């Protein structure tokens, strides 16, 4: 099923309760405190959050604006800020802070709720994030305007009426979309693709729904859709391709009781080698995708969408790298420049607590302190795209990476940026280091 977006040309003005719900986070937020007048901003971000249009009661659940409204807001904002160009778009999730009356998209840590000792869940709200840069002399003078498609995978046809229908490979879903585009075209050029989780049990066949839920005891209620963002313009007939790079792992050994998997850098190297052999592929974007751990162990060349999990999945998964590209166009000269690369930016720990949740720097501070200086140092590297990458960690003194053997007490939001050339680390002192975290020891109260 293809979900074709409605026209977003009409102006949209939020209801009077808008600022009460999300304060200034969707319209008036400064781009991580950098004035608009500063020239040549390499990357910044802008978030557009859904408004709560109906509170929950004994008869119904809370309702939020659909995703299409967020596209309207983004286009209105882009019309008013014509000095910015869109790098890529992303669907991101945030959890409502129980101590606040609004959603703060700049918070970089989420906390799953404990249901039982081995079961936990988290309720989130989806929103739209734009990664932006300053326009240059080569950019069109018109304001950027974006559109999107939701691609809901079709079920495989089955000859046995008693058999369970399953979704086919992600490649077949994209192939059906390509066939659709050959007959209908796209009113512009594709910016990027992404896989997005949605709750089919609570919101059947409604990928526009802003609410989202993850848990560890029933993942069958969730599914994955493909979302395609494009820049509005002259009609095109672009054909999409994709390839997955799954981490290899070493066998268990005497000195390593735990299997070691390929790093992100090693996956990037494999993607670069693939690009060198397929010189008619123009890269759109790269995305970190999660796969059900048991199914990831099967060496399959075409993976079912049912094997995929959202980036916020609380079950055991294996992260792979997926590359999306346009077929049959002159490629960006990655091989001549030296190869694609990536860098992950992690929020600094500010306050370390013995019992309550640790405090981390907000996303806008991470951009200001580390990301912007890093990009200024690597000024010759063009940004392909950026993405939000959740890291699962435990709320312990060592802040170890979550091993999926116990519940994750913190979901830490990091930013990963992909470049069209190798990047290097700045010399000491170029990036301002965060202050050592403050340690707060509190009395822990256990309820028996």
- Bridge partners (DSSP) listed for residue 393: 401, 410
pLDDT in the model for residue 29: 40
Which tokens hold the place of 120?
A: 């936990």
Report the pLDDT averaged over residues 143-152. 94
CA distances from 75 to 65, 82, 170, 199, 231 (A): 16, 10, 29, 27, 11
At residue 198, the pLDDT reads: 85
| Six token digits for residue 299 | 């060496």
Q: Note the pLDDT tens digit of each residue in 275-305.
A: 888 877 789 999 999 888 888 877 665 667 8
For residue 152, the model assigns a pLDDT of: 82
Going from the C-alpha of 359 to that of each of 1, 106, 435, the distances in angstroms are 42, 13, 13
Instruction: Determine the pLDDT at residue 34.
Output: 46
Q: Is the pLDDT of residue 314 over 80?
A: yes
Residue 124's pLDDT is what? 87
In degrees and rounded to multiples of 5, residue 365 shows phi and psi of: -70, -35
Judge contact between 390 and 307, C-beta under 8 A. no
Global pTM value: 0.84
In this predicted structure, what is the pLDDT of residue 307? 85
Tell me if residue 414 falls in helix, strand or coil.
strand
Is 90 exceeded by the pLDDT of residue 434?
A: no
What's the pLDDT band for 335 if we cut at 50, 70, 90? very low
Check: CB of residue 419 under 8 Å from CB of residue 382: yes
- The answer, yes or no, to whether residue 262 has pLDDT greater than 60, is yes
Comparing 24 with 249, which gets the higher pLDDT? 249
Distance CA(122)–CA(102), nearest Å, equals: 17
State mean pLDDT over 260-286. 87
Mean pLDDT of 199-211: 73
pLDDT per residue over 22-69, tens digit each? 333 333 343 444 444 456 889 999 999 998 887 665 555 677 899 999
Mean pLDDT lowest among 171-175, 256-260, 338-342 = 256-260
User: What does the DSSP 8-state code read for residue 78?
Assistant: H
Per-residue pLDDT band for 193 (boundaries 50, 70, 90) equals very high
Q: What integer best gives the mean pLDDT of the chain?
A: 78
The answer to whether residues 132 and 86 touch, using CB atoms and an 8 Å cutoff, is yes
Highest mean pLDDT among 34-48, 89-103, 126-140: 126-140
Contacts of 220 (CB under 8 A, 6+ apart): 201
């Amino acid at each position: 099923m293809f979900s074709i977006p409605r026209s977003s040309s009409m102006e949209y003005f939020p209801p009077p309760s808008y600022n009460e719900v999300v304060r200034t986070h969707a319209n008036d937020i400064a781009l991580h405190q950098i004035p608009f007048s500063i020239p040549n901003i390499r990357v910044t971000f802008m978030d557009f959050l859904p408004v709560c249009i109906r509170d929950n009661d004994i008869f119904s659940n809370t309702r939020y604006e659909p995703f299409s409204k967020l596209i309207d807001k983004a286009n209105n904002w882009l019309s008013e800020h014509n000095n910015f160009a869109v790098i890529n778009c992303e669907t991101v999730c945030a959890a409502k802070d129980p101590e606040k009356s609004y959603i703060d998209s700049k918070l970089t840590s989420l906390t799953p709720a404990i249901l039982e000792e081995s079961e936990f869940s988290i309720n989130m709200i989806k929103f739209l994030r734009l990664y932006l840069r300053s326009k240059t002399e080569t950019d069109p003078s018109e304001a950027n305007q974006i559109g999107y498609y939701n691609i809901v995978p079709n079920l495989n046809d089955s000859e046995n009426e008693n058999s369970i229908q399953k979704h086919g490979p992600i490649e077949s879903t994209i192939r059906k979309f390509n066939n659709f585009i050959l007959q209908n075209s796209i009113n512009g050029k594709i910016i990027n693709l992404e896989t997005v989780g949605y709750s089919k049990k609570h919101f059947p066949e409604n990928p526009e729904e802003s609410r989202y839920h993850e848990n560890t005891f029933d993942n069958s209620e969730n599914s994955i859709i493909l979302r395609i963002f494009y820049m509005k313009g002259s009609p095109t007939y672009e054909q999409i391709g994709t390839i997955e790079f799954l981490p290899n792992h070493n066998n268990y050994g005497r000195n390593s009781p735990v299997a070691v998997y390929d790093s992100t850098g090693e996956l990037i190297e494999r993607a670069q080698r693939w690009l060198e052999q397929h010189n008619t592929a123009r890269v759109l974007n790269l995305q970190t995708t999660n796969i059900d751990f048991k199914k990831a162990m099967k060496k399959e060349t075409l993976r079912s969408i049912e094997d995929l999990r959202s980036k916020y999945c609380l079950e055991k998964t294996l992260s792979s790298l997926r590359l999306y590209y346009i077929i049959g166009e002159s490629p960006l000269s990655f091989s001549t420049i030296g190869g694609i690369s990536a860098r992950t930016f992690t929020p600094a720990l500010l306050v370390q607590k013995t019992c309550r949740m640790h405090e981390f720097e907000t996303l806008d501070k991470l951009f200001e302190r580390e990301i912007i200086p890093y990009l200024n140092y690597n000024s010759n590297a063009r940004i392909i795209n950026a993405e939000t990458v959740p890291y699962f960690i435990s709320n312990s003194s060592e802040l170890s990476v979550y091993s999926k053997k116990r519940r994750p007490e913190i979901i830490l939001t990091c930013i990963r940026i992909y470049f069209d050339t190798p990047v290097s680390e700045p010399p000491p002192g170029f990036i301002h280091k965060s202050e050592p975290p403050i340690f707060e020891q509190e009395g822990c109260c256990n309820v028996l």
